[in-house]
Amino acid sequence: MTSTSTRPPSIHGHQSGHAPGERRIGSTIVLIVLSILVLVPFLWVVSLAFTPEKDAFGSVSLIPAHPTLSNFDTAFVDANLSTALVNSAIVALITVATNCAFAILAGYAFARMRFPGSTALFYTLISTAAIPVSVTLIPLFLMARGIPFAGGNDAFGHGGSGFLDTLAGVVLPYIVMPLNIFLARQFFSTAPAELAEAARMDGAGEWRIFARVYLPLAKPLIAVIAIFSFTGVWDDFLWPLVVTSSPETQTVQLALARFLASGNVQYGPVMAGAIIATVPVLLVFLFNQRSFISGLADGSVKG
Amino acid sequence: MTATSTRTPASAATVAAPTVRRAAPPARRRPRWNRISIVGLIFVLPAALYIIIFQLIPVIYGFVLSFTKYSPLSRSGPKPVGVDNYANLFTNGDFGNALLVTGRYVLQVLPLTVVIALVLALLVARPFRGVSFFRSALYIPHIVSLTAVSLVWLWMYSQDGLINELLNAVGLPDQAWLLHPDSALNAASAMRIWKALGSNMVLLLAGLQSIPKELYEAARVDGAGRWNSFRYVTVPGLKPMLVYVVAMDIIYLSQGFAEIYVLTKGGPLGSTTTINYLIYTQAFQYNQLGTASAMAFVLFALIIGFSFLTMRSLTGRQK
């Protein structure tokens, strides 16, 4: 606001690039109004989650008169949320680990250790990101069912249920996400090549160059890939819906949707459940806010 | 493939090799096989094999399935039926309806969310005190899962929900937003507009910040006003990101599922049955895997077509 202090308010057509004070105030007001509109649903969710069931009918006040945690208890018990949280955490952690390992390794090689056909292979792998979920949904379901020697299957994948209704089945489509390979290649292609050349002069092997020279530079990349993988898996709905059938293997999002469908809808506990399901992702976001937004921007600007 | 041309049969190799070496342009060398590139291939292998097995082969498998009749309950395997599944889609009213619903959904959400997100991005593009608060606050709907967000809006649209309370407060009667064929899809669209704002804003913001400051200064020196510098610097500079945002929105919106599952289950009267929702019910409720696969491939073709058209129409004019 200080930079605009001495300038006179601009008239229409005034040839100045500086935002006049009045315009800045006007746009701030627009921003505040839009932000409130965007955030209002969340304020009410929090309010509803802390409002006792008997107060929740009729006009609900934004600040509950008798705040309570009982909705959270109900959500945990009735929606089986603790099992679902554990399942989602296991699936998400496996996904983060495999993506950080394999996508970064592949992206590094595509950027720094190119081989004949590597560019074509790279674009082939990346293009799979554009395949609609519903195209691979049915084949993946049949493949998960037909995994040999799993879930009572024989060597040909017949006779049993394979990976269906197991956490291994839930993890199956997320092991390496193509977008993460793309981000890794973008990252390493801007890293200085001299480091590798110097290390090769010193007789370091390729693995050592990757692990000791380039990987330590890649902390922001690891953060972004971890966040993308975590949130992507944590929030996914359609695949877990198809591949799981019992409460023992369901993920958080499924538990939420089934909680709602389980009969007389009580919005207090449902909102409490929605908050519980969101807190992990929100924490991941808040602790990595800078790399989240800037990493997202970097990856796509160049794309 | 000039790199492989050095591996000609032994008789020709002695003659060909020196000329190929000399002809190689010094600026941009093609990669060739050596110790480093073989290690590179090994580094790529786990990710490549995984994606080929669990992304590419399923596409081929699904395409084959779309020409068969197959129930997951029968263990006899898929029965070939030729193009019947595709032919039936065009006589089957459900699929036509789902196409219309999906198209309307995309067209209702896309323009509004992109325009509002662009306004927001322009408003938060310049640094001022509290700008990061606004950027984060507007991004929050994107972070919360579609399932959770749909539950929230389900409550907002319910009889005692926020929207009806606001209507009552200004003296208007309640509406059963999600229970009428006329309003259910609009209600879902409003939610998706709200949900998509944050990510679109952040991407467009990144696009705005990638426009070199010197261009604005040059425009000012040339006497361009606010509108003209927006028209001739911002709009062309933002175009690549705008194309990306629109294409990604088309891809995401045309695959709407979780919000439909939570809000309306495709109803009332099929008025919110998107293609993905129809595919899900065909495959996993009616056990028609062949029909569902054919639907998925029509959707695939349409998404590719429209994304391509978007890129053509938005980038075509430049240069």
CB A175 within 8 A of CB A98: yes
Residues B13 and B104 in one domain: no
Contact A138 B289 (CB under 8 A): yes
Q: Is residue B78 part of a domain?
A: no
Q: Is residue A249 part of a domain?
A: yes
pLDDT of residue A300: 40
Sequence length of chain A is 303
Residues A114 and A176 in one domain: yes
Residue range of the domain that includes A39: 17-67
Q: Is residue B294 part of a domain?
A: yes
Residues A93 and A21 in one domain: no
CA distance B258 to chain A (A): 6
Q: Is residue A250 part of a domain?
A: yes
Q: Is residue B82 part of a domain?
A: no
Q: Is residue A157 part of a domain?
A: yes
Which among A50, A67, A84 is the end of a domain? Answer: A67
Residues B162 and B289 in one domain: yes
For the segment A164-184, what is each residue's pLDDT rounded down to a tens digit? 899 999 999 999 999 999 999
For the segment B227-243, what is each residue's pLDDT rounded down to a tens digit? 888 888 888 888 888 88
Residues A142 and A58 in one domain: no
Residues A63 and A77 in one domain: no
Residues 117-156 of B with CB under 8 A from A: 119-120, 123-124, 126, 128-129, 134-141, 143-148, 151-156
What residues of chain B lie within 8 A of the CB of A265, using their CB?
158
Residue range of the domain that includes B176: 93-315
Residues B28 and B126 in one domain: no
Q: Is residue A211 part of a domain?
A: yes
Q: What percent of chain B has pLDDT over 70?
A: 89
> Is B304's pLDDT higher than 80?
yes
Contact A108 B43 (CB under 8 A): yes
For the segment A23-82, what is each residue's pLDDT rounded down to a tens digit? 678 888 888 888 888 888 888 888 888 888 766 655 556 777 777 888 888 888 888 889
pLDDT of residue A292: 56
Residue A48 has which token pair?
């509803």
Residues A149 and A255 in one domain: yes
Residues A161 and A267 in one domain: yes
Q: Which helix (H) or strand (E) holds B196?
A: helix B184-209
What residues of chain B lie within 8 A of the CB of A116, using their CB?
1, 3-4, 30-33, 37
Q: What's the CA gap between A256 and A270, in Å, rounded? A: 7
Q: Is residue A2 part of a domain?
A: no
Residues A60 and A79 in one domain: no
Q: Is residue A63 part of a domain?
A: yes
Cβ–Cβ contact A156 with B under 8 A: no
Closest CA to B105 of B193, B178, B17, B180: B193
Residues A41 and A180 in one domain: no
Residues A49 and A154 in one domain: no
pLDDT of residue A13: 37
Q: What's the CA gap between B84 and B69, in Å, rounded? A: 9
Q: Chain A interface, mutation test: which of B43, B133, B178, most A Cβ atoms within 10 Å?
A: B43
pLDDT of residue A85: 94
Q: Which residues are within 8 A (CB) of B155 and not within 5 positions of it... i.e. 6 or more apart?
A: A44, A45, A48, A267, A270, A271, B161, B162
CATH code for the domain of A259: 1.10.3720.10
Sequence length of chain B is 319
> Is B316's pLDDT higher than 50?
yes
Residues A131 and A158 in one domain: yes
- Count Cα neighbours of B120 within 13 Å in the Cβ-side half-sphere: 29
CATH code for the domain of B199: 1.10.3720.10
Cβ–Cβ contact B306 with A under 8 A: no
Q: Which residue has the tokens 């966040």?
A: A227
Q: Is residue B253 part of a domain?
A: yes
Q: Is residue B46 part of a domain?
A: no
Q: Give the global pTM.
A: 0.83
